[in-house]
Amino acid sequence: MTVSQHPRPKNGHRSSRSGPQAAQLRIGFALLLLVLLALHFLPPARLLELNWLDLQFRLLRHYAPLPVSQEVVVVGIDDATVRGMNLPLATMHAELGRFLDAMAMAKPRAVGLDVTLPQTSYDGLKPGLDAALLRGMLRLRNVAPLVLGITIDASGTPRPVHPPFLTVTGQEGVGYVLVQPDEDGTIRRFDERLGERGERVPTMIGQMARRLDIPIEYGLMQFALGPDFDYVPLHKVLARHAAGDTAAQAQQFRGKVVILGNVLPLEDQIKLPVRLAAWDRDSETTHGVLVLAQQMRSLIEGRIVRPAGDATALLLVCAAALAWWLRPGGGSALLLGAVAMAALATEMALLRQSVHVPLAWPALAAILAAGSRASLEAWHATREKRWLRAAFAGLVSPDVLREILTGNLKPQLGGERREICLLFSDIRGFTTLSESLPPEEVTRLLDRYFSRMVAAIHAHGGTLDKFMGDGIMAFFGAPQARDNPCADAFAAAQAMLAALAEFNGELAREGRSPLAVGVGLNYGAAVVGYIGAADRHEYTAIGDAVNTASRIEGLTKEAGYPLLVSRTVQERLPQQEGFVPLGELAVKGRGAVDVFGWRPAPYPAD
């Protein structure tokens, strides 16, 4: 009976059971692409990109910050200022007027007021409040652009400002203090398309840029730009102005963009990707005036980050899906990992150049694509192993099956030279026995006998080569190497004889005659591998050592021992007791062989 048959795939292609077919791969790729594209539009992918973007900004800001050619100065209304004025912020017209007067003397490049101005006159509270603020505005207007920040109420309606203030600044001197958060509530962008239908809404920073003839671009703020902000307390500016210290004022503000805003603790807090306040590094949020200052920085330096379009993002996901076609393996995994790391490093380098190409989700999509292909291959491999195990478990020895399943044993013609120990066994007088029994009964008897013999062989690491009628051929040392194949073969032969004794006990209780066997062992070189035709072959061993082992088994009846071993076997056994030297016995077809006999005790002589 042929032990194993493995038709070789034609033209070097793998068989259908060794992996997914081309049609399955194409269908799988199409489904994967649809899933990845669908996931691209879902919040998790977007949040992944935003979180990775924030991390890049933090890394760049810490390790590779971008310098600024002109700093934006923040003047802060802090606790000390409020305590010193001892006035509500809404009535600080005189202080604001003096601040603007100080700025007119310092000659800044532009001034923005991120403060809430009243809707009506406050002269009713204290005569001259409106005039004090208007005088400062008029003086600064002749020196540098002034832009007032206006806000909206809870319903989205613009909060009106006392008309005389708007008359002084003009329409170009008013802008909304509005920012648009991303999906996660974080502010990252400068964009004036804030209307309900995407209409442009002039912002305070946009108006300041226009007054300064700075090109307007919409996109991400460049958070790697410039150092952390500190602020100049408003009360110090006013104190220097009162003391007439114009030199210090000019040194701090001349030729610079100045933004006045609230820096009171816990007020006007906004979430950003990075911390911008040098005086408050532990807070997770930042004062709104610093957001405006960073927007201004980005516009002045021409560093607004331009995001790649949606079409580019979709193309990147499609390109990432091509990782499906990478054959699973360590090399592909290393290649994919290197490409993903290079892509993310490239994204960071581009971000520093104020270009944002979202690559975090495509990188993850590529890993998902490769992982899906590997999962499909693993499922096919598992299914193939189950099929091979079911098909060959009863036909080949466990070692051979294990080597087939692990891929170490390829079903290709040819073999290799190995030093192995051969075992042949045969039932004595079986021909006469089979003539006296019906074929079905003979088959059942052989099945019971073979199951015990094969179990003994497999238990000691033997490879079952084939059944030959009532005979068995097995070898030790291939396909897996053994430390001492002769010791394993001898132990298997001992186990076979012990199992036969138990089996004969069963036969005796059934009223049947006992069986007698002969076992021959020989050690030597043989060619082990797949032998046969291209479409039908078996894993076997051939060579003179094989033929000699078969002839030694044939001598057992004449020698009167159930087990005969050649000297090459006996010399390699750690156990020497119980062997009887029989000298050189003639072997058909070759010269005499020096053999030794062994029988278990008690064991009847033939």
Report the pLDDT value the prediction gives residue 16, as an integer from 0 to 100: 41
Query: Residue 260's beta-bridge partner residues?
Result: 75, 113
Mean pLDDT of the chain: 88
- On whether the CB atoms of residues 261 and 76 are closer than 8 A, the answer is yes
pLDDT at residue 405, as a whole number: 65
- Is 603 inside a domain boundary? no
Domain range for 570 is 398-598
Q: Are residues 444 and 565 in the same domain?
A: yes
Average pLDDT over residues 225-235: 96
Residues 178 and 326 both lie in one domain? no
Residue 411 within a domain: yes
Helix (H, G, I), strand (E, B) or coil at 380: helix
**Of 11 and 574, which is predicted with more confidence?**
574
Q: Which of 271, 302, 333 is the last residue of a domain?
A: 302
The DSSP bridge pattern shows strands 72-77 and 257-262 to be: parallel
From CA 130, how far away is CA 124, in angstroms rounded?
10
Q: What is the pLDDT of residue 536?
A: 66
**pLDDT over threshold 60, residue 605:** no
Provide the percentage of residues in the chain whose pLDDT is more than 90: 64
- Co-location of 211 and 320 in the same domain: no
Q: Looking at residue 5, what is its pLDDT?
A: 34
Whether residue 186 sits in one domain with residue 99: yes
335 within some domain: yes
Write down the pLDDT at residue 489: 96
- Burial call 92-106: b when 16+ CB within 10 Å, e when fewer: bbbbbbbbbbbbbbb
In a domain, residue 382? The reply is no
Domain boundary residue, one of 281, 302, 323: 302
User: How many Cα atoms are found within 13 Å in the side-chain-facing hemisphere of 90?
Assistant: 9
Among the residue ranges 40-44, 91-95, 124-128, 499-503, the one predicted with the least confidence is: 124-128
Count structural domains, the chain: 3
CA distances from 401 to 391, 409, 418 (A): 10, 9, 19
Between CA 453 and CA 323 the distance in angstroms is: 51
In this predicted structure, what is the pLDDT of residue 315?
A: 95
Of 302-316, 378-392, 393-407, 466-480, the one with minimum mean pLDDT is 393-407
Q: Is residue 507 part of a domain?
A: yes
pLDDT at 603: 57
- Report H helices in 233-272: 234-243, 246-253
Q: What's the whole-number mean pLDDT along residues 461-476?
A: 92
* Co-location of 455 and 483 in the same domain: yes
Phi, psi (rounded to 5 degrees) for 423 = -125, 125
For residues 572 and 482, what is the distance between their CA atoms, to the nearest angstrom? Answer: 13
- Residue 414 pLDDT exceeds 70: no
**Model pLDDT for residues 286-314, shown as the tens digit of each residue:** 999 999 999 999 999 999 999 998 899 99
- pLDDT of 76 higher than 50: yes
Q: What is the pLDDT of residue 392?
A: 55
Q: Which of 302, 335, 357 is the last residue of a domain?
A: 302
**pLDDT computed for residue 32 by the predictor:** 94
Q: Which pLDDT does position 105 carry in this prediction?
A: 96
Q: Is residue 296 part of a domain?
A: yes
Q: φ and ψ at 584, to 5 degrees? A: -90, 120
Lowest mean pLDDT among 223-232, 284-293, 432-441: 432-441
Q: What is the CATH number of the domain that holds 437?
A: 3.30.70.1230
pLDDT of residue 319: 94
Residue 406 has pLDDT above 70, yes or no: no
Residue 370 has pLDDT above 60, yes or no: yes
Please state at what angle helix 93-106 crosses helix 129-141, rounded to 10 degrees.
Answer: 20
Predicted TM-score (pTM) of the model is 0.68
Is there a domain that residue 75 lies in?
yes
pLDDT in tens, 513-543: 899 999 999 999 999 887 766 666 677 899 9
Assess whether 296 and 171 both reside in one domain. Answer: yes
With CA atoms as reference, report the closest residue to 17 among 535, 330, 568, 391. 391
Residue 386: CB atoms within 10 A of its CB come to 11
pLDDT at 160: 87
Is the same domain home to 369 and 417? no
**Residue 290 and residue 409 share a domain:** no
More confident residue, 285 or 400: 285
Q: Are residues 261 and 128 in the same domain?
A: yes
31, 132, 214, 226, 229 from 301: Cα distances, Å: 45, 35, 9, 10, 16
| Average pLDDT value for residue range 144-165 | 88
Evaluate whether residue 58 is within a structural domain: no
Shared-domain flag, residues 79 and 203: yes
Q: Which two tokens stand for residue 358?
A: 């979202």
Beta strand segments in 123-207, E:
146-150, 174-176, 189-190
Same domain, 240 and 258: yes
Residues 270 and 316 in one domain: no
